[in-house]
Each structure stands twice: as C-alpha cells, then as structure tokens.
Structure 1
Amino acid sequence: MSVARRCALLRARIAARVVAVSALCLYAGTAAAHSGGGPGAGFAAGFAHPFGGGDHLLAMVCVGAWGAQLGSPLRLALPTTFPLMMVAGAALALWGLPLPAVEGGVALSVLALGACIAWRWRAPVWAACALVAGFALLHGYAHGRELPVAADPAGYSLGFVLATGLLHVFGIGLGELGLRASPVALRGFGAAVAAVGAAFVVSALRA
C-alpha cells in the first residue's frame, strides 16, 4: 500500500473518531444543564458535576479546541483564563451579588464557542481572551449559585476546577487531532456544537 493511501486511510479514521466524539458531546448536550451536589457533597461530587451538564461540558471542550485551532499563545491562554474567571464568577454568586441573564449567557457560550470553531475565527488574543473570560464568569456564577449548602466548599470547588481542566485538555487534544487529520471535521464538530447551543438558547429564552 502506498504512503499516500496509508495517509488517506489514517485521515479518514481520525475524522471518523472526531465525528464520533461530536456525537457523544451532542448526546451529553441532552443532559440536565445543572444539577446540585446534594448534602455532604465534596470533591467527588464536584469532579462529577461538569460531566452531568451538557452546556458546561461542551463549552469546556470548545475552549480547548478553539485554543488549539488558534495556536500559540491562545492554545494555553484560553484554558488558563477560563478556570480563573470561573472561580471569580463562583465567588460573586457565593457573595450574593446579582448577575443578570446567567442561564441565557451560559447557553449562548455554547453557541458562540462552537461557531468560533466552525468559522475558524482568527480572533486577536485580547478578543479571544475577553470572550472566554466573559463566558467563564457566567459559568462560574451559575455553578457557584448551585454549590450545595452542606457540601465541603473547598473539596467541591477543587474537584469541579480539576474536571474543568481535564475537559480543556481533552478539547486541546481534539483540536490538535482535527487540525492534523481533518480540519473540515473539526469545523463540523464546531457547527454541531453551535447547533446544540442554539437549542440551549431557545430553551433558556422560553424558561
């Protein structure tokens, strides 16, 4: 088998895997947006929480994938900015400071980040960081507001931030894989996420 043929088969296999991951993420998007940790919830509940909400899961993966798509320095800057601003948003919620349109903003983040990947928007560093920081503030506020009263706040928060970081890493890997194997499949993933985000936005507007 020729080298060109082998490369083509490899690209096809990787593209199929990217599509499969997209399907899994779309399935996750049908999950409940946010769920509380329950009495006594600590590190384990905080770690599991991001995987139970489709909006948060998709946004986290997209932050990593878009950063990979944009390249250095945003490959690392975006996944670093998000957790930091998410903690700030959670602090605002715990302090009881009002923040309007949180659920709508969280839903919009999925639509916008997916669209950035689909359109391969080459955003300036400041614009990409500002966009991600704004959405991170909303995500952090939404989840900080839901922090169980009886939970161990430090353990729960640590688990939540760690899981978020792992989702970023997965997104970076997905983005790098898509760029090397099939940029079209990566953009298709972004379009699929944006479609789910649009459904989230409609749902938030109806609520």
Structure 2
Amino acid sequence: MLKKLLPLLLLCWAAPAFSHEITSGAGFVTGFNHPVLGFDHLLAMLSVGLLSTQLGGHAIWRVPLAFMAFMLVGGILGVFAIAVPFVEIGIALSVLLLGGAIALDKRIPLYAAMAFVGLFAIFHGHAHGAEMPELASPVLYALGFLSGTAVIHICGVALGFIMQNINVRWPLTRLAGVAIAATGGYLLMGF
C-alpha cells in the first residue's frame, strides 16, 4: 500500500508551482485551474479535506464548506481590489498550520476548526479574486474556483478515508500532515 502512496508523498517535496501566473483564458476554466494548478493552494485544500476526515462526523462536510464560504468572501475582496495584507504569506502559513493540525491529530471543536480554515480561506480567495483576468466573467470565474476547490476537498476527504483504513504501523494521515507542514515551512522560507 505504501507504494501506492509514494506519488502523493513525492508531491509534498516537489518545488512549488504557484498558480498565480495563469493569464490565458477567462471564466469558469481559468477559475477552476487556479486552485488546481497552484501547488500551495492544492496542498492547503487537500489539507482541509484531510483535517475534516480526521475530525469526523459533521466536520467532513462543514469544514470544507466553511472554507469555501470564506474563500468566496476573500475572492470578492480581491475582485474589488480591497487590500488584504500578507496574502502570499497567509497562503504559505495555511499550508504549514493545516499540515501541523493534521500531524498533531488533536480533537478540536467543530466551530473552532471552521474558523481556523475560514481565516486561511480569505487569503486563498483574495489571491483568486485579485488575479481574475480582466475579460473573465466574475460569476463564472468564482464558480470555477469554487468548483476546483470542492473537487480538491473531496479528494482530500477520500484520501483521508483511504489512509485511515490502510492497516500499517504508522498513522499515515499524521505523516502526511508532517510532510505538508514541512512543505509549508519551505514555502515560508521564500518570504
């Protein structure tokens, strides 16, 4: 089973491929591509899915939905050029702290988890909104980045369930959290 997870683990040590340079196209596809192709966004959103699976119960859907709701707020701020300080640092910090939360595997209250991911979602959303191409439809672009985020969250939840059900000596989800947090630390070193 570890051989099947090796490609995922290798992603954690790959060089960051920031999505913030996407300029071609407009509308839904460009919005969808922004979180999917951005390594920093991808790791944070996978982490939200993993964390929600770790918490279990209603967190499995409420935590990702909270992320998406706050991300939309951040996206609106970005589209209207309302400044949010330290966006890129906030995104990198989200990878570090979400990975750390997964690695620690502490039971935190549902609403605290929702607020935790919501804070970081504002940074991610602002980056998406601020980089919307001029000719893109804001509604289609927002639907695109929300859809891309939902797909990544679902993949994170599925991955969380798979890792919880693999019978090995090591807690794979917590190990993934360590790798994600280490990647977030690496991203922060760039600032």
1:31 counterpart = 2:17: yes
Larger C-alpha radius of gyration, 1 or 2?
A: 1
Contact preservation (8 Å) 2:31, 2:128: no
Alignment of 1:4-23 (within 5 A): 13=1, 15-23=2-10
Q: When the two structures are aligned, how many residues end up with a matched partner?
A: 189
RMSD (Å), alpha carbons: 1.6
1:95 counterpart = 2:83: no
Q: Could you say which residue in structure 1 is the equivalent of 2:180?
A: 193
**Structure 1 segments of 4 or more deviating over 6 A?**
none
The 10-residue stretch of structure 1 (44-53 or 58-67) with the greater mean CA deviation from structure 2: 44-53
Q: Could you say which residue in structure 1 is the equivalent of 2:33?
A: 48
Query: Which one of the candidate residues 66, 70, 73 is aligned to 2:58?
Result: 73
Taking only the aligned residue pairs, the percentage that are identical comes to: 39
Distance in 2 separating the partners of 1:116 and 1:90: 25
Cα distance, 1:30 vs structure 2: 2.0
Distance in 1 separating the partners of 2:187 and 2:35: 16
Cα distance, 1:32 vs structure 2: 2.3
Cα distance, 1:33 vs structure 2: 4.5
Cα distance, 1:72 vs structure 2: 0.9
Contact preservation (8 Å) 1:35, 1:53: no
Distance in 2 separating the partners of 1:44 and 1:137: 21
1:161 counterpart = 2:151: no
Distance in 2 separating the partners of 1:152 and 1:67: 32
Distance in 2 separating the partners of 1:110 and 1:135: 9
Q: Which runs of 5+ in 2 are unaligned?
A: none
What secondary structure sits across from 2:171 in the alignment? helix
Distance in 2 separating the partners of 1:200 and 1:87: 24
Distance in 2 separating the partners of 1:70 and 1:62: 12
Q: Could you say which residue in structure 1 is the equivalent of 2:130?
A: 145
Distance in 2 separating the partners of 1:148 and 1:31: 19
Distance in 2 separating the partners of 1:91 and 1:58: 22
Contact preservation (8 Å) 2:46, 2:152: yes
Q: Could you say which residue in structure 2 is the equivalent of 1:9?
A: none
Distance in 2 separating the partners of 1:197 and 1:42: 29
Cα deviation 1:31-63 (Å, max 9, x = unaligned)? 12522333x412222222222211100001000
1:202 counterpart = 2:189: yes
What secondary structure sits across from 1:21 in the alignment? helix
Distance in 1 separating the partners of 2:138 and 2:84: 21
Amino acid at match of 2:36: F
Cα deviation 1:76-108 (Å, max 9, x = unaligned)? 111111111101001112222221111111110
Query: Which one of the candidate residues 94, 97, 103 is aligned to 1:109?
Result: 94
Cα deviation 1:132-166 (Å, max 9, x = unaligned)? 00000111011111111122222222111111100
Distance in 2 separating the partners of 1:134 and 1:154: 23
